[in-house]
Amino acid sequence: MTPKNTLWALLALMFACGMVDAQYAALHMRMPPWWPLFSGFLLSFLPYYWYRLDSEARRFRRSRWMSSAVVALAPLGIPLYLLRSRPQGRRLGSLARMTGFALLMLGATVVGAVAFLVMPG
C-alpha cells in the first residue's frame, strides 16, 4: 500500500464512521461495543502506517518518541513529523496540506452522515 492509498483508506473510514454514527442515532440504538474499538484502532493505525511509509520513502529516521507521538497524539505528532522531515522551504506547504486533509476528513464524516440520512427506506 502506498502513502496515498493509506490516506484514501482513512477518508473511507471517516465516511463509514459518519454513516454508522448517523444510523445508530437515527434508530435510537446503542452502537455495538466492537465498532468503537475497531474504528478507534484503525484511526490510530492508519496515520501511523502512513507515517511509516512516508518516513521510509524520505529516509527519515523514526525515533521511538516520534512514533509514539504519531500514534497517541496524532494532531500534535504528525505536524511535528512534517516539520522535522520536510526541507526548509516546504514545511509550511506540508502543514497547509495536512490542515486541508484534516478538513477533508471532517467533510467525509459529515458526508457519510448525510448520505445515510438521505438514503431511501
For 98-109, what is each residue's pLDDT tens digit? 999 999 999 999
Q: Residues 50-56: what's their mean pLDDT?
A: 96
CA distances, 41 to each of 30, 34, 109 (Å): 20, 10, 17
Query: What is the pLDDT at residue 118?
Result: 87
Assign 121 a pLDDT band (cuts: 50, 70, 90).
low
pLDDT at 55 over 90: yes
Which cell goes with 79? 505536524
Helix and strand numbers, DSSP H then E, in the chain: 5, 0
Query: Under 8 Å CB-to-CB from 55, ≥6 apart: which residues?
Result: 61, 62, 81, 85
pLDDT at 87 over 80: yes
pTM of the model: 0.89
